Structure 1
């Protein structure tokens, strides 16, 4: 279940995030900020909802939804998307859909770290978080 992910996580490593943001259509200035921002992600549960708080000097976001239930999300790069959280085996997955497009975040636990793989149109970025 999602319980294993419930913790405070600090970004410690990021690979190919600029390319991922570029194919998403994120503008140059926003990508520059995104590349240097080291967010803290707090994953928790509130009743039957999963709560994902992302805290950074750029922007703070809070998402809360039941697993498998679609919800509206305004992304940090200002896309209006429909998101869904699910558990797929041992991975915590978020899918964002908008304008016929789809991006997927797959979070998994490896050696005490949370590794998030972001995929869009064949481009993958990997962001690694350690417990804060």
Structure 2
């Protein structure tokens, strides 16, 4: 895969995703929903797992948590690109920063419901 195609790039730039993050008995679930796609990952902190990203890349992922930052470290499979997503909560805002190669993308979410888990 050489990169994200123009159609996927346009769709991604106009999407207004909703992320539902849950933790139950040490198992995390992140469901990201847009009008054209839903992705779902389930994991335990510190344990590597196979993931297919929203843009179709196959990666091996490890999630870590440090204070208010959840880091998603993705290593490309079969020559695919590596990327890192950091979700940081400050008050009622979640900022997600995605870094791949020298490109950085930031997306800001408004927390709707913060339940203890």
- Report what 1:40 is aligned to: 18
Displacement, 1:89?
3.5
- Does residue 1:57 correspond to 2:35, yes or no? yes
Displacement, 1:74?
1.0
- Does residue 1:83 correspond to 2:61, yes or no? yes
- Does residue 1:25 correspond to 2:10, yes or no? no
Distance 1:35 1:62 in 2: 20
Larger helix percent? 1
Determine which structure has greater relative contact order: mean sequence separation of CA pairs < 8 Å that are 6+ residues apart, divided by chain length. 1
Q: Which stretches of structure 1, 4 residues or longer, exceed 2 Å deviation after superposition?
A: none
Displacement, 1:100?
6.2
- Report what 2:97 is aligned to: 117
Distance 1:101 1:28 in 2: 17
Aligned length: 109
User: Residue 21 of structure 2 contacts residue 30 of structure 2 at CA under 8 Å; is this kept in 1?
Assistant: yes
Distance 1:83 1:41 in 2: 18
> Any idea what the Cα deviations from partners look like across 1:84-129, whole Å, max 9, x if unmatched?
1111343111011112642101111124200111111121111000
TM-score (norm 1): 0.77
Root mean square deviation of aligned Cα: 1.5
Q: Superposed, which structure 2 residues align to 1:5-20 within 5 Å?
A: none
TM-score (norm 2): 0.86
User: Residue 61 of structure 2 contacts residue 72 of structure 2 at CA under 8 Å; is this kept in 1?
Assistant: yes
